[in-house]
Amino acid sequence: MTGRARAAGEGSIFPYRSGFAAYSWVRTPTGKRTKKWVYGRTRQQVHDKWIALQSLAKDTAIPNRVPTLSEHLQYWLAEIVRPNLAPLTYQTYEIIVRLYIEPHLGAKRLDRLQLREVQSWINTIARACQCCAQDKDAGRPPSKQRCCAVDRCCQTTVSPRTLSDIRGCLRSALGQAVTEELVSRNVAAAVKLPKVRSRSNRRQAWTTDEARRFLESARADHDPFYAAYVLILVLGLRKGEVLGLTWAHVDLDKSSLHIALQLQRVSRELLHRETKTEGSDGVLPLPGICATALRLRHDDQIRARAAAGSAWQGNDLVFTTRYGTPIEPRNFNRSWDARCAKADIRKITVHDGRRSCGTLLADLDVHPRVAMQILRHAQFALTMEIYTLASPDATKEALKRLGASLDR
């Protein structure tokens, strides 16, 4: 061996190729003792790395091979997320990993992922037009191309909620890496979300008059989803909860409804499963309009079963097709949109219909804690900040009262 003798405490440092190398005995996450190597162009570089390795090895296990972020994400999705979380949550995380994380950071080794580059990545995601970034025009017919393919960027950026979900996905995956002692810290936990302006069409709600016209139109036309619309607007049920409701959970004699199941489309599979959380479950009383609507629905289903005959596919769902099969959630969306047009009122989403329930309760001066129980929110702030949007009439009346109190 050439070169000067090792100084005391340097350990196993020696010339290697065009520089130097060193190793230290460490404990891996599996409990096995093995050599961990460090390399550098100068002896001092290797010495500093060796000292840092020794210090780290005293407090934590050291993996003998650190996977790339892409490798870890695929393991995390398959072994942590899929077995332990809801199918729709897995699908959401898989989409985030595939579209937003892997293309930019996937090749990085876990232990070399730096806070600065993760911060730059999330800033880029917030600013970038996702239509261009994901080349969405390539999958559209020429007549519907509207962005980079026609040299006119549509500036479709991610929403604040999506941006938060992207960071949350990476933070959760890296948290598992910390738990398994693959890395010593979670760099995504310190990432700051850039400010993104909410889209103007979000958080809409109907007035009492609009909700009434919507329901009156559906009942007058004998819309098969009339009872579903009533449950959304009066009880604030979610779309999946309405479509997953069974007759076993409806007690018309006692005028009560038990919410415990939901219907979801996850990839190519339609799942009838438990609700998102235990807090989503609950028993609600049925006001007269709800009980009447469900009785009408029950009678309609009996007639549909008789008309279908042997083609009827029996199940206990309240809302089915004319052959007894579950309702496709997207088809329900289309029916809702068509009813908005027929009733000649503002078009809002099905979930905005649930939000309308909260605002109508607020207009009736229902205590927020009662509204929280009806809507089955886990957090009181969610009821106050998202679902109780003051209607223009309520705002006008409040300002009128305030002005009168000050004008004496």
CA atoms within 13 A on the CB side of 78: 6
* 269 and 226 within one domain: yes
Q: What is the DSSP letter of 225?
A: T
* 365 and 223 within one domain: yes
* 112 and 34 within one domain: no
pLDDT tens per residue, the chain (408 residues)? 444 444 444 457 888 888 898 888 877 766 778 777 788 889 898 888 888 878 877 777 666 677 899 999 999 999 999 999 888 899 999 999 999 999 999 999 998 999 999 999 999 999 888 888 777 777 778 777 778 777 777 777 888 889 999 999 999 999 999 888 788 889 999 999 988 766 544 568 888 889 999 999 999 999 999 999 999 988 889 899 999 999 999 999 998 899 889 998 887 888 888 886 665 677 888 888 899 999 999 999 999 999 999 999 878 999 999 999 999 999 999 999 999 999 999 999 998 888 888 777 776 667 666 767 677 766 666 666 554 555 566 656 666 665 565 565
Q: Is residue 3 part of a domain?
A: no
* 375 and 243 within one domain: yes
Query: Residue 293 phi/psi, 5° resolution?
Result: -65, -40
Q: Is residue 348 part of a domain?
A: yes
Q: What is the DSSP letter of 188?
A: G
Q: What is the pTM of this model?
A: 0.69
Q: Is residue 198 part of a domain?
A: no
* 329 and 391 within one domain: yes
* 390 and 275 within one domain: yes
For 196-213, the DSSP string reads: -PPPTT-S----HHHHHH
- Residues spanned by the domain of 306: 208-400
Number of folded domains in the chain?
A: 3
Report which residue type is found at 116.
R
* 147 and 96 within one domain: yes
Kindly report the length of the chain: 408
Q: Which residues contact 36 (CB under 8 A, 6 or more apart)?
A: 23, 24, 25, 26, 53, 57, 62, 64
* CATH code of the domain covering residue 289: 1.10.443.10
Can you tell me the distance from the alpha carbon of 123 to that of 192, in angstroms, rounded to the nearest whole number? Answer: 9
**Terminus-to-terminus CA distance in the chain, angstroms?**
98
Q: What is the DSSP letter of 69?
A: H
* 55 and 74 within one domain: no
SS3 state of residue 50: helix
* 152 and 51 within one domain: no
Q: Is residue 218 part of a domain?
A: yes
Can you tell me the distance from the alpha carbon of 178 to that of 219, in angstroms, rounded to the nearest whole number? Answer: 56
Bridge partners of residue 34, in order along the sequence: 26
* CATH code of the domain covering residue 130: 1.10.150.130
* 179 and 262 within one domain: no
Closest C-alpha among 123, 299, 273, 88 to residue 196: 123
Q: Is residue 195 part of a domain?
A: no
Q: Which residues contact 365 (CB under 8 A, 6 or more apart)?
A: none
* 33 and 151 within one domain: no
Query: Residue 14 phi/psi, 5° resolution?
Result: -155, 160
* 212 and 178 within one domain: no
Can you tell me the distance from the alpha carbon of 186 to that of 78, in angstroms, rounded to the nearest whole number? Answer: 20
Q: Are 148 and 78 in contact (CB under 8 A)?
A: no
Q: Is residue 42 part of a domain?
A: yes
Can you tell me the distance from the alpha carbon of 263 to that of 274, in angstroms, rounded to the nearest whole number? Answer: 9
